[in-house]
Chain A
Amino acid sequence: MIHSLFLINASGDIFLEKHWKSVVSRSVCDYFFEAQERATEPENVPPVIPTPHHYLISVLRHRIYFVAVIQSEVPPLFVIEFLHRVVDTFQDYFGVCTEAAIKDNVVVVYELLEEMLDNGFPLATESNILKELIKPPTILRTMVNTITGSTNVGEQLPTGQLSVVPWRRTGVKYTNNEAYFDVVEEIDAIIDKSGSTITAEIQGVIDACVKLTGMPDLTLSFMNPRLLDDVSFHPCVRFKRWEAERILSFIPPDGNFRLLSYHVSSQNLVAIPVYVKHNITFREGSSQGRFDLTLGPKQTMGKAVESVLVSSQLPRGVLNANLNPSQGTYTFDPVTKLLTWDVGKINPQKLPSLKGTMNLQAGASKPDENPTINIQFKIQQMAISGLKVNRLDMYGEKYKPFKGIKYMTKAGKFQVRT
């Protein structure tokens, strides 16, 4: 399956290589570099690249290309999914997954990769098991290790791989037993010029942070489970129970994990929480364009729209923009032509606006396309679909855990066409 892995940074240096079978020369990456050169943007590098003897499958995350070398037929998603899992694991271990972090922890990285694949086939990818095998580095542990000569490698051999619940390690102990669930919903929408919604859908996830002693067995029920249209679960969720009763029943992994992700059925109309009034015009023959943007809240059920960030890719002809925000700050990058406006919170009494002029290249004809506006925002304490958790119960353990549920709505890919 996966033969080798190369990590390539933004400037095209291979800074880590790992081979699970015989060694593949790093010159194989030349094909990748070729493809990279052809692509105008880093994202445009095709994920699957054939070379005469190998196939390169790559993912790009955190400005690092993870390039896997494949020698024979394998489902590409298998490799892609695995590479993403590797990145997730790194992130889990080092907090961030940057070139520097990987270089600093190269030994741990190597140990991890060694455990995750055997002969190119995934072996242990569950973060709980890995953490039993290899302790995540912390500053304290690094200090202690240097003094005592002890190591990051777990002394105890892991039991998780053989246990009944492979995703949970045994012997977990906490003084404060807590279980937090975040219901986060994202609105993906395309709004057309006139303000009508072309497409809008809600995707949600429930992320959990469970720190409970022992082997708790949790059930989570919803007030309105019918809202959930298409769901995918963490392996811990008992599927049959969901089928039969629409109840999430599971023995949670220890720590942070994504319990489920869902799609809200398309029958439900999606409430769009913000509106945009825009007037972006370029006049023929003039080297100036007008830019006028106003944001306002809409259907937010009284909750404040926060952390609003507007970004827009202005046409190539725009040289500069002289804008005046009523609140927040804006930046315009004359090279990438990217305009970003950090609005902050929308005050319904005084709607934020951004007005001014854009300077065009002298003599250039007017751009025939108006830019698309991407909006990010957050609304706390509300799940826009109306999903509500009914109750959370714990079985199997005696103590009483502290439980918390938080709702949040965010913009996913929220675009306004102008």
Chain B
Amino acid sequence: MNGGLSSLRSEAAGAMRTVLVSAESLQLTLKPELTQEEQALTQSGRKAKEAHTAGNEDLKEMLESNKESLKLEAMKRIVQLISKGKKSSDLFPAVVKNVASKNIELKKLVYVYLVRYAEEQQDLALLSISTFQRALKDPNQFIRASALRVLSSIRVPIIVPIMMLAIKEAASDLSPYVRKTSAHAIQKLYSLDADQKEHLIEVIEKLLKDKSTLVAGSVVMAFEEVCPDRIDLIHKNYRKLCNLLVDVEEWGQVVIINMLTRYARTQFTSPWKEDAVFDDNEKAFYDSDSEEKQGQKEAKPYIMDPDHRLLLRNTKPLLQSRNTAVVMAVAQLYWHLAPKHEVSIVTKSLVRLLRSHREVQYVVLENIATMSIQRKGMFEPYMKSFYVRSTDATHIKTLKLEILTNLANEANISTILREFQTYVKSQDKAFAAATIQAIGRCATNISEVTDTCLNGLVLLLSNRDETVVAESVVVIKKLLQTQPTQHSDIIKHMAKLFDNITVPMARASILWLMGEYCERVPKIAPDVLRKMAKSFTSEEDIVKLQTVNLAAKLYLTNSKQTKLLTQYILNLGKYDQNYDIRDRTRFIRQLIVPNEKSGTLNKYARRILLASKPAPVLESAFKGQLGQTPLPWTNEMDRDRFQLGTLSHSLNVKAAGYQELSDWPAVAPDPSVRNVEVIEPVREWAPSVGKAKQPKSDDKFYSDDEEKEEEGSGSGSEDSSSSSSGSSSSSEESGSESEEESSEESGKTSSDSGKSSSGSEASSSESEPEQKKKKRTKKATQRKSKQSAADSDSDENGSGPVGKTSSSSAESSSESDSEEDSDVDSPPPPSPPQKKTVAKTKPKVEVKTKKEVSLLDLDDFSPAPPSAPKSSVFSSSLLSDLEGLSLSNVSSAMQVTTPSFGPVKTYELLHHMTGKGFSAKYHFPRQPCLYQPSMVAVQVILTNSSDHSLEEIHIGDRSPASLNIHCFNTVERLEPGASVTVSMGIDFSDSTQAANFQLCTKEDQFSVSIQPAVGELLMPSTMTEPDFCNEQKKLMGMNETSASITMATANTSKQNISKQVLSVANVGVVSSGQNDLQRFAGRTVSSGALVLVTLELREASTALLTINTEKSVMASMLLRDLKQALSQS
């Protein structure tokens, strides 16, 4: 079918040519075409060569014709010549004329030709330069780019200055595509003229600053090629590169990851030493983000640099790439940079790569082999993935075998050995032999199975295949050498089998064993020698040599029995055809048989021949060199001296241009070099690791976080004034950073990154409100503290008010603060926001540090959501953890009713994480509702912290359906970063049942619920004392609820009591004449039922709390709330 079609096609082409071309040119074109084919058949020969030039003549003519189609045809044939590696440089002048052609394909083909031959025809190539120079100014970015591409690909030294100029210009082009091309051109120019290095570095420096994902990969490539040692150029761009990484094209990712691996090894301190404790405790990694862990390590001051963490975190999602090179790059990055217990997350992805093409398998297996030597645990669960299939290529089989051997331990050895048994029977004998060696290695490594292995190997001795037998004998020999004390029966067994074994190597090995341990088998050895004497002449050389050895050794130990035999053998050897054997015989004879010529050497013969020999070490081929001589520059022969995934590692030879991974520095270089531009001057902390050593105990625990926070805000301030991209989770920076870019392409990038990682966007936006919130909180704090100071003799500690009004997470924390250690110093004024967000871990940690280290990492889990463990393996960033954390805090904030003296207690309605950047909070203003008297007024603060404006915010479906809500007017548009306060009314019908409704934007709907505290369902009611008493009398009996309470000492003053009560319930104070009686009155909002609260103080700070109301359910709830509020400070 195919052939038919192609012939049809050529027919059609031929017909067309007839139409198009005049008869004359037809003659000219067709004839040489035939000869060319002939020539293709005969390949060379003078005749053909002539025809070839004739063909080129013809092409020349075609190129010079006026017809485009002819030219094109000619160019196509020229390209065919090039592809076959045939010479066509004589056509250069004719081709180069067409460089300015309008026809795009023709032009492209001319480019192909130019790039191939310009080097050879430099003078002529110059003719084309002006065309490119013109094209460099073209308004179309692709024409500019392709002009630069070809111009830089022409390897003509004379145009270096022109290229330099073009590169510099293109580096500041508006189009990122052109800038990318210029990055490529840098390498080309560098290889053409290395003297330009300095200028090129300038361009690289400039392009490194580029924020386009398109450019990043190419410029890093140029950096690696031109100036890989100028690590200082990376500092300022480090964070940007980390953040852009996910969106860079896959090939660029590989290059960037490899470069960053190298960078990180020079800039950060080793995370490994301290990890020793956690080694093998791989689970620990999964849901703890190591900051916490590091935070706890008080004794060990290692704290991972946040930038180090940033790199690890941002590369992790790339393990899911479809590009095997990217996965491998990330794997090696983790291997070389991550704390030991984190490395294992790459395992699964590496094992996945084994499903890929044969060549990929090979390289991946090589790397796994190296890894599995050091870290068995990593791959042990995936052991079965390394089982050999009969269809695997030999080198893959061998590598799998290698890995299986590395993985063997006491627990799995029986499974592995069973598997090996199958391999031994393989038709691929080289592989079977390799398996026997592997069994030998297992036997030496794992003493429990040594005997089993030996027995198994002995059984193999009766195998029919020579290689298998030979290999077994050799391995047994090695094994016995390691434990010579036992196993004389194995030697006996081998002696018995000796007659059946034909492989010379195996026979030689047995003979050697006999000789070496002849004292253990005193009866058999001479007998074997006797047999050998008979067959000596027909043996292979190697066997003969060992026979001579055996004879010599027996002569020394048991000369009585073997003297004659030895002499016989020595005589046979003396006249052997092989001079090696003759030599050996002569040497042995002189050594062992005393005569007048042999001097003192004779005395030492026994010590020479029967010296105890060191056992050979059975080791992984990957540990040592694969049969190669050690290299001069290193004594180590381990493969792991090379960076994983590199060509050098694959070959186990240092490849040209290999960049060594440096060792971790003992002291990290100043991390502030990575800070970009302005660091916020207000900050008081220097971003240094030393921070952790601050004496103040409460600082110690979260200094890591603090630092993060600061780094974040540092880069935030760099980006712009908007102070986005702060906060500890760093993956968000990518979003916000690209957000800042104002140029056209950056817009694209940002939306691009948005598309590919909507999650990160959400998290990016998260930082913004958080900071705002903090600012707000800070102000509130100050206001509040003034208030409280003025208000009363507030004996609460300083952190109290801060906690109450700050973000929800802080709330619970400050509470626990005051509960657990009430003597916390009030935080320094500028820091409260940061303090608060992190403080939540503090009290726990403080308790923990007193315990053992092993408990620490268990406790790590506690702040994280309990359901997380498995799923967060996938989480690339703090995202999910954060989400979990903040959500759990929300709920606790709602349940725990901390006493608050002001009415403004804000609750979370919609968290910005769940709301994709849209958040809402509400509070009860405690004002009568404007819409309906039976409704409770609620104020909702809507905040948009996403990066796009939200439209049509309104309330949607509600449940229960009967719920009466007065909705706020639809908010038409909420700009990013803006917030708006709206009020609504809800009729709760005097129940604390939550009001559920949907908060809708144009695109999304979020289910939210407002659950009022019982105190909010009241309205203050003013009445006089007599009125109060009258009403109270009506509400006795069933309607009265009372309890005696023990009040906190702080609350004994009258003022404080009323403050506490008011904070819980929206009631009015009834002025009272009695000092020990306090009365409060209110009505329920919906039904207007009276609620009367009486507090009768008694001695020793106990009090009787009485509530009179028809609504008994409310009464008991209110009682509970009040009791709780009053009994604590």
Contacts and interface: CB of A to CB of B under 8 A. Distances in A.
A322 interface: no
Contacts of A78: 251, 254, 325
B149 interface: yes
A77 B12 contact: no
Contacts of B325: 75, 77-78, 80-82
B16 interface: yes
A313 B392 CA distance: 13
A360 to B, nearest CB: 14
B91 to A, nearest CB: 16
B76 interface: yes
B531 interface: no
Given A18-B83, A164-B751, A166-B249, A75 B9 contact: no
Q: Which residue among A122, A146, A199, A231 has the maximum number of chain B CB atoms within 10 Å of its CB?
A: A146
Contacts of A142: 9, 12-13
A355 interface: no
Contacts of A152: 105
A147 interface: yes
Nearest to A154: B104
Interface stretch (A66-74, A174-182, A379-387, A399-407): A66-74
Contacts of A163: 748
Nearest to A19: B116
Contacts of B140: 157
Interface stretch (B642-650, B783-791, B1118-1126): B642-650
A135 B616 CA distance: 63
Interface stretch (B509-517, B755-763, B1051-1059): B755-763
B182 to A, nearest CB: 11
Interface string B917-956: 0000000000000000000000000000000000000000
A106 B77 CA distance: 10
By secondary structure, the A interface counts as mixed
Interface in B418-450: 419, 422, 425-427
Given A121-B184, A125-B251, A155-B104, A77 B324 contact: yes
A148 B698 CA distance: 81
Interface string B345-377: 000110110010111101110000000000000
B317 A313 contact: no
Nearest to B871: A243
Contacts of B13: 142, 146
Contacts of A313: 390, 427
B387 A80 contact: no
Interface in A237-267: 238-241, 243-244, 249, 251, 258, 261, 263
Interface stretch (A41-49, A275-283, A328-336): A41-49
A4 to B, nearest CB: 10
A48 B756 contact: no
A222 to B, nearest CB: 15
Given A143-B9, A231-B320, A238-B755, A151 B657 contact: no
Contacts of A368: 425, 463-465
B12 to A, nearest CB: 5
Contacts of A73: 646-648, 655-659
Nearest to B329: A75
Given A50-B653, A111-B108, A238 B756 contact: yes
Given A47-B363, A153-B105, A240-B757, A365 B387 contact: no
A75 B646 contact: yes
A14 B463 contact: no
Interface residues of A, number: 108
A146 B358 CA distance: 41
A197 B844 CA distance: 49
B650 A48 contact: yes
A119 B188 contact: yes
Q: Which residue among A47, A161, A233 has the maximum number of chain B CB atoms within 10 Å of its CB?
A: A47
A111 B146 CA distance: 13
A81 B880 CA distance: 33
A103 B880 CA distance: 53
B80 interface: yes
B612 interface: no
B112 interface: yes
A234 B321 CA distance: 7
B359 A59 contact: yes
Interface stretch (A20-28, A206-214, A297-305, A344-352): A20-28
A190 to B, nearest CB: 6
A128 interface: no
A106 B79 contact: yes
A9 interface: no
B181 A44 contact: no
Interface string A130-166: 0000000001001100110101111101100111111
A15 B463 CA distance: 47
A157 B656 contact: no
A1 B184 CA distance: 12
Contacts of A162: 141, 175-177, 214, 745, 748
A17 B258 contact: no
Contacts of A190: 387, 389
B757 A55 contact: no
Interface string B216-231: 0010010000000000
Interface in A7-66: 14-19, 21-23, 26, 40-41, 43-44, 46-48, 50, 55, 57-61
Interface residues of B, number: 122
A92 interface: no
Contacts of A118: 149, 181, 184
Contact of B317 (A154, A158, A239): A239
Interface in B319-355: 320-325, 327-329, 348-349, 351-352, 355
A388 interface: no
Nearest to B757: A240
Contacts of B385: 199, 201
A340 interface: no
A325 B425 CA distance: 28
A106 B80 contact: yes
Given A47-B363, A164-B748, A199-B384, A151 B103 contact: yes
A239 B755 CA distance: 10
Contact of A55 (B141, B360, B647): B647
Nearest to B357: A84
Given A75-B325, A75-B645, A75-B647, A17 B191 contact: no
A26 B83 CA distance: 12
Q: Which 10 A-B pairs have the closest CB atoms?
A: A240-B759, A72-B657, A151-B105, A149-B69, A199-B384, A153-B105, A47-B359, A372-B390, A369-B425, A122-B251
Interface of A: 1, 14-19, 21-23, 26, 40-41, 43-44, 46-48, 50, 55, 57-61, 70-78, 80-82, 84, 100, 104, 106-107, 109-111, 114, 118-119, 121-123, 125, 139, 142-143, 146-147, 149, 151-155, 157-158, 161-166, 190, 192, 198-199, 201, 203, 229-236, 238-241, 243-244, 249, 251, 258, 261, 263, 313, 315-316, 365, 368-370, 372, 374, 413, 415, 417
Given A106-B83, A142-B13, A369-B425, 8 more contacts: A48-B650, A73-B657, A77-B324, A81-B323, A118-B184, A142-B9, A162-B176, A232-B321
Interface of B: 2, 5-6, 8-9, 12-13, 16-17, 67-69, 72, 76, 79-80, 82-85, 103-106, 108-109, 111-112, 116, 119, 140-143, 149, 152-153, 155, 175-177, 181, 184, 187-188, 191, 214, 218, 221, 246, 249-251, 254, 258, 317, 320-325, 327-329, 348-349, 351-352, 355, 357-360, 362-364, 384-385, 387, 389-391, 393-395, 419, 422, 425-427, 463-465, 645-648, 650-651, 653, 655-659, 745, 748, 751-752, 755-760, 762, 874-876, 879-880
22 contacts: A15-B84, A17-B83, A43-B393, A47-B362, A48-B650, A72-B655, A73-B656, A77-B324, A104-B6, A107-B80, A118-B184, A119-B152, A119-B153, A125-B251, A151-B106, A157-B140, A201-B384, A238-B758, A261-B352, A315-B427, A368-B464, A417-B422
